[in-house]
Amino acid sequence: MPIRVAIIGSGPAGFYTASALLKTCPNCEIDIIERLPTPYGLIRGGVAPDHQTTKKIANKYEQTALMERVRFYGNVEVGRDVSLTEMREMYDAVVLAVGARSDRRLSIPGADKLGVYGSAAFVGWYNGHPDFQNLNPYLDTPSVAVIGNGNVAIDCARVLMRSAYGRARTDLPDPVTEAIDRSPINEVHVLGRRGPADAAFTNVELRELGLLTQAAPRVRAEQMPSDIDAALAGYEKREHRVRQRNLTTLADYAERPPGDKPKALHLEFYASPVEILGDGRAEAIRCERTRVIDGRAEGTGTFFEIPCGLVISAIGYRAEPLDGAPFDDARGIIPNTSGRIEAGLYAVGWIKRGPVGVISTNRPDGEQAARHIQDDNPPEGDPSKTGHQCLEALLHERGRRWVCFDEWKRIDEMEKTAAEDGAPRRKFISVDEMLSALDNDNSE
Ligand SMILES: Cc1cc2nc3c(=O)[nH]c(=O)nc-3n(C[C@H](O)[C@H](O)[C@H](O)COP(=O)(O)OP(=O)(O)OC[C@H]3O[C@@H](n4cnc5c(N)ncnc54)[C@H](O)[C@@H]3O)c2cc1C
């Protein structure tokens, strides 16, 4: 009897788990359950559309999905189509790889005004994620504020500032491209509460801003530290190196003459947003100037305002609880001990650790879960757990149409075929569109 494993979620953490199980557990059969018809989680729906090279990691995941012992059930949501309790009855082991899909709440007055969006929604919109296609963000403004000092903040700013030529080489959905084309946005202000030394950008992302053809990165020279060693004093060696590189890049931006690029991307430090102003709709953001004492930002009592009709809050992500699994609301994760929730139930990726780290940070989670599954199971699986046979019967009974990996490959092919010159694909942006395209394809 095989050991039947269900992995809930097909992002990096889910795929690294499947790949580790294939290597270490020759008797495992793996079913990957995904709420969307499309696999790969934030690789498709989070990584920026102009970072296609990063998205190529999906080719590796595809090799895993094509292995004989792996099945993919897209368009099946645990908690909606099948409960976690039912999954546990059908499988010897269930691995939760569901990520962290909501925004950390921006809790300042005015955060609920029109024109204020969380980055999960905004990024989902520009990446064609079906959940966010009705967002219709307000872009009819010359000026935007992006709150946050990580790569997601930079992604949002860069996507808005890219030239039409640059955007044509991405897989931004047509309605997004059209909305950006129509928009008069010519200034983006990326706001960080602490100083340039504390920003969490990676250096590659920061340097990319200097290569934009239509927008110039702007940094205030007076915000750059005069004593770099003192500014980096609290950071350990590796972090110190990355931040030192960032300071070099930022110093270069601070020294550059304004030039003649028509748009400006301001990196504004020591700026703590305290209120979003406007009559029902965002019209400006009010910030308090800060100073950094012992690594913490402290208000100075001086306030300033930046006019802006669009505010994007990129201050982090949050997981949602899943019925049938415990949830630590304060930390926004499923409580676990090194990935084990209890025997038979495991967590990997952002739902295990919280929303931090890069794609490869999820790999050790998968390896760890695979080890737990081997340790917790006898060499043979439980004969009463019939895995996908039972799952398929249940989905049939409930009238749920699932999408197998071959069907995803057809969606993939249709998207690539529909792309205009230079673009990698033209995404389907609703589940209905994907399912009808498959059904029409079947009837031909
Ligand atoms: C905007 C953004 C940009 C990023 N860019 C980069 C980058 O350029 N480079 C980099 O290295 N890292 C990047 N990251 C980080 C990287 O994307 C994450 O480390 C990684 O995606 C986390 O993997 P995960 O599998 O835990 O979650 P996810 O990738 O979110 O995958 C979770 C999957 O589970 C599915 N799911 C959720 N609930 C259910 C359910 N109930 N039933 C079935 N399926 C479900 C979701 O639909 C999703 O497919 C970025 C992150 C964000 C937010």
For 226-266, how does the pLDDT look when each residue is reduced to its tens digit (9 = 90+)?
988 888 888 898 889 989 999 999 999 999 987 899 999 99
pLDDT for 138-163, tens place per residue? 999 999 999 999 999 999 999 999 99
Task: Residue 2: count other Cβ atoms within 10 Å of its Cβ.
Answer: 16
- Domain shared by 341 and 249, yes or no: no
Tokens 């059209």 locate to 178
For 18, 88, 185, 322, the CA distances from 340, given in Å and listed in that order, are: 16, 14, 47, 16
Q: Is 358 in the pocket of ligand 1 (CB under 6 A)?
A: yes
pLDDT given at position 264: 97
Q: Answer whether 42 contacts ligand 1 (Cβ < 6 A).
A: yes
- Please state the rounded mean pLDDT for residues 26-37: 97
On whether both 298 and 408 belong to a single domain, the answer is no
Query: How far is the centre of ligand 1, averaged over its atoms, from the C-alpha of 12 (Å)?
Result: 7
Do 328 and 300 have their domain in common?
no
- CA 60 to chain CA mean position, Å: 19
Which pLDDT score is estimated for 211? 96
Q: Atom 52, ligand 1: which residue's CA is nearest?
A: 46
217 CB less than 6 Å from ligand 1?
no
The three-state (H, E, C) secondary structure of the chain, written as one string:
CCEEEEEECCCHHHHHHHHHHHHHCCCEEEEEEECCCCCCCHHHHCCCCCCHHHHCHHHHHHHHHCCCCEEEEECCCECCCECHHHHHHHCCEEEECCCCCEECCCCCCCCCCECEEEHHHHHHHHCCCHHHCCCCCCCCCCEEEEECCCHHHHHHHHHHHCCHHHHHCCCCCHHHHHHHHHCCCCEEEEECCCCHHHCCCCHHHHHHHCCCCCEEEEECHHHCCCCHHHHCCCCCHHHHHHHHHHHHHHHHHHHCCCCCCCEEEEEECCEEEEEEECCCECCEEEEEEEEEECCEEEEEEEEEEEECCEEEECCCEECCCCCCCCCECCCCECCCECCEEECCEEECCHHHHCCCCCHHHHHHHHHHHHHHHHHHCCCCCCCCCCCHHHHHHHHHHCCCCCECHHHHHHHHHHHHHCCCCCCCCCCCCCHHHHHHHHHHHHHC
**Atom number, ligand 1, closest to the C-alpha of residue 77:** 42
Mutate to test the pocket of ligand 1, among 98, 119, 206 (most ligand atoms within 8 A of CB): 98
Residue 139 in contact with ligand 1 by CB distance below 6 A: no
Which protein residue has the closest C-alpha to ligand 1 atom 48?
Answer: 41
- The CATH number of whichever domain residue 380 belongs to comes to 3.40.50.720
Distance in Å, CA 152 to ligand 1 centroid:
13
Last residue of a domain, one of 290, 317, 344: 317
**Do residues 24 and 147 both lie within one domain?**
no
Convert the pLDDT of each residue in 390-417 to its tens digit: 999 999 999 999 999 999 999 999 999 9
**Mean pLDDT across the stretch 196-210?**
96
Test site for ligand 1: of 359, 361, 403, most ligand atoms within 8 A of the Cβ:
359
Q: What is the CATH number of the domain that holds 220?
A: 3.50.50.60
Count of domains for the chain? 2
Chain mean position to CA 354: 12
Q: Identify whether residues 149 and 277 lie together within a single domain.
A: yes
Separation of CA 424 and ligand 1 centre (Å): 20
Encode pLDDT of 76-125 as tens digits: 999 999 999 999 999 999 999 999 999 999 999 999 999 999 999 999 99
Distance 257 CA to ligand 1 centre (A): 39
Q: Are 85 and 127 members of one domain?
A: no
- Containing structural domain, residue 371: 3-101+319-443
Asked whether residue 302 carries a pLDDT value surpassing 90, the answer given is: yes
Given 317, 348, 379, the domain boundary residue is 317
Domain boundary among 291, 317, 343: 317
User: Do 66 and 94 belong to one domain?
Assistant: yes
pLDDT band (50, 70, 90) for residue 289: very high
Provide the pLDDT confidence category of residue 443 given band limits of 50, 70 and 90: low
Residues 33 and 113 in one domain: no
Residues 438 and 330 in one domain: yes
Q: What atom of ligand 1 comes closest to residue 42's alpha carbon?
A: 29
313 and 323 share one domain: no
Cα(42) to centroid of ligand 1, in Å? Answer: 4
- In the reported structure, the alpha carbon of residue 351 is separated from the centroid of ligand 1 by a whole-number distance in angstroms of 10
d(CA 174, CA 177): 5
Are both 328 and 215 inside the same structural domain?
A: no
Q: Which of 42, 52, 91 most suits a substitution to test ligand 1, by most atoms within 8 Å of the C-beta?
A: 42
